[in-house]
Structure 1
């Protein structure tokens, strides 16, 4: 079966998470990704975090999945020539350096488009390629702060909090992949040739959170962090702990589902209370609803809560730990956790699920320079020339590659 993106050629100059995740998402569906690392400075994700039994960082295993690895000093004259050859036949180039790095190296968008006018360039940076904060350094947590996510996370009387995963970098990777595909679609339809996708790390979260800005500007309501409840309680729900110590999240998204939820926790007396006739009225008395749900859940075991909610077709979902995720029957049925032959490390598989052209995990992150020789051979370099480039320090190779 042919992968849907098997003819898509991507050059990755990215590092850490945001840029590399965008190419990783596309590589799952067949994109031919060449990740370029400097011979003397590899991506820090190789070493960040825990190591698998073979000594390789588990984060690198998944961020480097399905990618060919070229060790190249692209700032040198020889390296620039190799990069140009790659760019001339590529569809996409991804970079997430600080603004100005490519320009100072003489390979800004104007130069790249001289080499290949149809090239789509994804540029990921902390605050974007222009504006008063253009040159301010930023990491994911700074982006989570600027987007408003941290402000809305935590308890009302406590400090703002970051989520338990790199939300800004990860959502940027997702939005970057979307931006690439939109630009490629525009190119295919003749709307534009190669163009620059300019993405700041805080912007994906800003777009996905969305509602705080129209809430303030349209309704003069300013969301505030609210602990185990939503910042703006427009429907009943929250996080609760059962009598046997299991955390569950309870939610309802419409007047009908809210009524079923209220009937599950408080019977007809609560569900038929005129204060809760509509979601609008209910939102004025959400503290009462929260307390009623909390009283019910905390006085019953998980099994009892699940049975009562099921009887009323209401939603109470157990909060899964990582250990429970990897053994969950629904997740296993979906095939969402996968690996490759000979690897103990498992990763999250390609998502979304496509009926005719599903994604595929071909390999996990490879060693530095793992594909340098084969890539250069495909560009027309013979073994003697490759050896000379290696001796000069312009190219690095993995010792196991032949």
Structure 2
């Protein structure tokens, strides 16, 4: 069965994480993604972070998955002509340069839509394509700061903290893929033709976090970072360490599940305490509840906690290291860590799991310009012309063209 997006053609002018991740997520489901890099100036993700045994950056291996690579100087007249030919038959173009870069190169949205009125253009930038901060430089951590994520992360008496992964860039990749699909749906239904998806990195976290703004404006409550507990303390839970040194997280999302949790750690006396009859009442005494959970967990081994929580159908989840993730039985059963033939590096597989048209990992990140010749030949450009373009520096012909 064909992949659900196998006829979707995407041109990726993006770099680093945010834009490229949008393309990666769609490539998992069959989209034909052509990643464009300037000759001699490849995406920095090829070099950032640790390298696999073959010398290739492991981050690039997963961000570049399922993508064909084209080395093209799209700012030269010759390169611009090639880009135009690509755009004319493409569905999507992704870019995450600072606002104005495409316009200064003569390929802003107006020009791109002259070439192809049905083109969906994803534009990712730190603060958006307009507004007083339009031209302010930003990376993901700046977005985490502006969105409130850093403010809410950490201990109340300590500094704001960033999470342990690029949350802003990764969330933007996910939101970018969503924006592309919404715009394509509108095009398919005849609601609109090609349009611009304007995505500011800070906005993606702002939307995903969601509740702080209505909490402030609707309930006049301002969330604060709260260490191992939830910032608003609206339900029991937190992070705890067992007597044998295992970290686990405990949580409850309703009055019923909270009662089961309290019964697991303190018996009927704690669960039936009138101070904890509802979530609203619990919220007023959350320090007492936290201490009760902590006392129980710290005095028992993980196996004992797991057994007791299981008896009461309460939730306690072990905090897994990467090594434990790689060996976890449930993760293995779901097929969430995958590899391709000839590659030692394993990556997280396509998500979500579709019952009829599941995603597929076809290859990991390829060398810069590995598909240049094939792509240009597909545009009707002769071998003689390809060689001349390469000699003039307008394109690059990388290795690995036969390693599809």
Taking structure 1 as the reference length, the TM-score comes to 1.00
Alignment of 1:180-329 (within 5 A): 180-329=180-329
- Residue 116 of structure 1 deviates from its aligned partner by 0.1
Q: Could you list the structure 1 runs, at least 4 aligned residues long, displaced by more than 2 angstroms after superposition.
A: 399-402
Match of 2:397? 397
Match of 2:349? 349
Match of 1:70? 70
Partner Cα distance (2:233, 2:397) in 1: 56
Match of 1:110? 110
8 Å CA contact retained: 2:248, 2:319: yes
Partner Cα distance (1:258, 1:51) in 2: 45
Partner Cα distance (1:73, 1:185) in 2: 32
Match of 2:42? 42
Match of 1:100? 100
8 Å CA contact retained: 2:367, 2:400: no
Alignment of 1:338-377 (within 5 A): 338-377=338-377
> C-alpha deviations, 1:72-120, integer Å up to 9, x for none?
0000000000000000000000000000000000000000000000000
Match of 1:378? 378
Partner Cα distance (2:383, 2:111) in 1: 29
Match of 1:123? 123
> C-alpha deviations, 1:211-258, integer Å up to 9, x for none?
000000000100000000010111100000000000000000000000
- Residue 400 of structure 1 deviates from its aligned partner by 4.3
Partner Cα distance (1:203, 1:33) in 2: 25
Match of 2:156? 156
> C-alpha deviations, 1:11-34, integer Å up to 9, x for none?
000000000000000000000000
Instruction: Quote the RMSD (CA, aligned, Å).
Output: 0.5
Partner Cα distance (1:398, 1:28) in 2: 23
| Secondary structure at the counterpart of residue 199 of structure 2 | strand
- Alignment length (residue pairs): 402
- Residue 401 of structure 1 deviates from its aligned partner by 3.0
8 Å CA contact retained: 2:37, 2:70: yes
> C-alpha deviations, 1:36-68, integer Å up to 9, x for none?
000021000000000000000000000000000
Match of 2:331? 331
- Counterparts in 2 of 1:281 and 1:88: CA distance versus 1, 3 Å: same
| Secondary structure at the counterpart of residue 361 of structure 1 | coil
- Counterparts in 2 of 1:166 and 1:333: CA distance versus 1, 3 Å: same
Partner Cα distance (2:40, 2:256) in 1: 61
8 Å CA contact retained: 2:87, 2:115: yes
| Secondary structure at the counterpart of residue 26 of structure 1 | helix
Partner Cα distance (2:192, 2:27) in 1: 24
- Residue 123 of structure 1 deviates from its aligned partner by 0.0
Match of 1:90? 90
Unaligned runs of 5+ in 2: none
| Secondary structure at the counterpart of residue 197 of structure 1 | strand
